[in-house]
Every structure is written in structure tokens, then in C-alpha cells.
Amino acid sequence: MLTMGEVHTGLLQNSGPLSLDRTVKLLDVMVGQRVRRSERPIAYAVSPDQFTGVDCRLPSASGRVSRGVGTVVSHAAMTGGHVLQGSSYTRVDRAAANRRLVWSHYLSRPGQIEAIGKVDARDMAAGFLTAGYQPQTLNLGSISNRVMDTVQNSSGLDRRSPFRTQRTRLRWVVLPAPEPSAEARGTFRVEANGLRTIELVAGQDDGHAIVELCEDLALHDWLLTTLLSLIEFSLTGPGTRTQKIHRLRPAIDCLLHLWMPAARLDESVLPVWQDLERRPGFTRQWQTSVNRIRDQVTLSTIALLEEAPVA
């Protein structure tokens, strides 16, 4: 009926990037399960999935009261040794029985919530994407936040991040397309207070590919948002050109090499990224910002050469 999730993205609280081996140790949170890792096109690791049992109200834009019982999947992911993500998601289906069953029933269906009572998928999607979390209502954001905080509080980190930045939150939902063979399409929105939303319509029920798409989108939205913030802070603040370039150094050291949209995604979800590249033009805006930084570095270098004494 409906799949929904939330991804939180932020900078790892460490003065330098972690090697892939150190990242794997940091994300090794469950005995007997391996951390998934890859080195190309960039260092990337994902912790084993964890499952959280829930028994709560389901989101609703209209205020409809319905109950959901089941489990939520969550994990942490690290990109380039710098960027940390906490991701949680679940699939909501109508319950076969109009009553709560024993927990063993729900534990046998990991990553699935059964809706008890009358529910409408679009009403639930609208409530999840646009409404604030209400008491006793399914809160995927708190689970994603907890996953990130668990990693950030690790004793293996020095908690001295190279620059200050804010976390972003991406809430996403997937509604079934009328035709099973239809390509995935999405509508992306930038909301207030670091919130982004994307409503997807997909014909194929490929949950893993959708989750990776949303995590990749959240990563690159955070990179772009953070880069734009650093540029504004660095270039509009007081100081000499050299001082302004010095404030841009964290962007050069930590961010510029991480931009690789859709590099690990399944082909079935690539149309969503292609839409985002047409409008609002993620890579176009990123490249314009990178060129601006490089122009400022070039001008600063020229000015230093002109000021240098002639031997």
C-alpha cells in the first residue's frame, strides 16, 4: 500500500576523515552481522539493519485515527569517511485481521507495519510528509536520529568536526503506480528548518533500490546545502580575500570530492535522478558553486603573486 522513510544526514564529529577500515569498525554494531562496504567510486559503508517494534497511530493529514503495529528497519551509513546518515523506513499494509495479533506475527514480517482500521494511502502519505509529528504517532525521524547519535557518541571519535553545519532531514514516501511496469518518478520539495520531502510513484516494488535512491538524494542535497552555506558565510563575511579563502578550505578538503550522484543506484530508479537533474538541476547548481570557489582561489593566488616582492 505505502512505503515511507526518513533519512538524516550530517557531518561526522571527527577532526578528520575516517579510513574505510575505521568506518567499518565504527558501524559494526551487531554481533554476527557484517558491515556492507565498498571502495569505488568512493569509500562507503552501511551498518547491519536493526529492527524496532512499534505499536502506534499512523500519520494522517485529515486527522483520521488508525493503528499500526509492526517493525521499522534502520541503519547508519558513512560516505567518504566524513558524512554520516541515519536511515529508517517501513512498509505499511492493511492488516488481514481487524485486531492486534501476538508479536511473533509481526516479527516474522520485518520492516512491515500492519494498519488496523480504515486507512487511505494518500492521506497517510500527506500526513507523513507535511504534518509535524504528533504524540503517539509513528515517528521515523526519532529512530533515524537515534541511529546517528549512537555513532556520533562513539568513543572512537574526537568530536572536533572541521566546520559547523546543520543536519538535514529527508522524508520520503512511495505510492504504487497504476501500471506495474511504469518508471519511478518523484516530486522533490525543500521545506523549512532543514526538512526535504520527496513523493515517489513506482511501478516495481523494489524496496532496496528505493531506499538507496532516497539515501543518495539525501546525501547530495546535504552536500549542496552545506556547500552553499559555506560559500555564503565565507565570501559575504568580513576580512581580506585571503581570510575568506581560508574559510572556504573545509569545503575544498571535505566536500568537493564527494559529489557522485547516482553512482551506486539501480537502473530502475535512475529516472528520478534524471528528473532532478533537469529541475531543479542539482549538478548544475553544484558545479556553479564549485567554479565560484575555484575562481576565488585563482583571484587570491593572483593577488598574492602581485604583492610578492620582486627579487
Q: Is residue 113 very low, low, confident or very high in pLDDT (cuts 50, 70, 90)?
A: very high
**What proportion of the chain, given as a percentage, has pLDDT over 90?**
63
Query: Which of 11-15, 182-186, 228-232 has the least mean pLDDT?
Result: 182-186
Query: Which of 116-125, 164-173, 236-245, 270-279 has the least mean pLDDT?
Result: 236-245
With 60 as the cut, is the pLDDT of residue 10 above it? yes
How many Å from the N-terminal Cα to the C-terminal Cα in the chain?
Answer: 76
Cis peptide before 280 (omega within 30 of 0): yes
**How much is the average pLDDT of 44-70?**
95
Task: Please give the residue that has the higher pLDDT: either 309 or 14.
Answer: 14
The total number of residues shown for the chain amounts to 311
Q: Is residue 49 very low, low, confident or very high in pLDDT (cuts 50, 70, 90)?
A: very high
**How much is the average pLDDT of 216-239?**
91
- 223-246 per-residue burial string, b: 16 or more CB within 10 A, e: under 16: bbbbbeebbeebbeeeeeeeebbe
Q: Contact at 8 Å (CB) between 35 and 48?
A: yes
**What proportion of the chain, given as a percentage, has pLDDT over 70?**
97
Q: Contact at 8 Å (CB) between 294 and 116?
A: no
Position 204 scores a pLDDT of: 67
Alpha helices by DSSP H, the chain: 20-27, 103-107, 121-130, 140-152, 207-236, 241-254, 270-278, 282-307
Of 227, 113, 217, 121, which Cα lies nearest the Cα of 169? 217
Task: Please give the residue that has the higher pLDDT: either 254 or 30.
Answer: 254
Position 80 scores a pLDDT of: 95
- Residues with Cβ < 8 Å from 240, sequence gap 6 or more? none
Position 183 scores a pLDDT of: 80
Q: Is residue 120 very low, low, confident or very high in pLDDT (cuts 50, 70, 90)?
A: very high
Report residue 9: phi and psi, to 5°. -135, 135
Query: Which of 111-115, 131-135, 273-277, 292-296 has the least mean pLDDT?
Result: 131-135
Position 124 scores a pLDDT of: 95
Position 66 scores a pLDDT of: 93
**How much is the average pLDDT of 51-78?**
95
Q: Contact at 8 Å (CB) between 254 and 82?
A: yes
| CA–CA gap between residue 128 and residue 171 (Å, rounded) | 8
With 80 as the cut, is the pLDDT of residue 241 above it? no
DSSP 263: T
With 70 as the cut, is the pLDDT of residue 308 above it? no
Position 212 scores a pLDDT of: 95
Please state, rounded to an integer, the average pLDDT across all residues of the chain.
90
In this structure, the number of other CB atoms found within 10 A of the CB of residue 299 comes to 12
With 60 as the cut, is the pLDDT of residue 311 above it? no
With 70 as the cut, is the pLDDT of residue 227 above it? yes
Position 205 scores a pLDDT of: 64
Q: Is residue 206 very low, low, confident or very high in pLDDT (cuts 50, 70, 90)?
A: confident
With 60 as the cut, is the pLDDT of residue 253 above it? yes
Position 284 scores a pLDDT of: 93
With 70 as the cut, is the pLDDT of residue 158 above it? yes
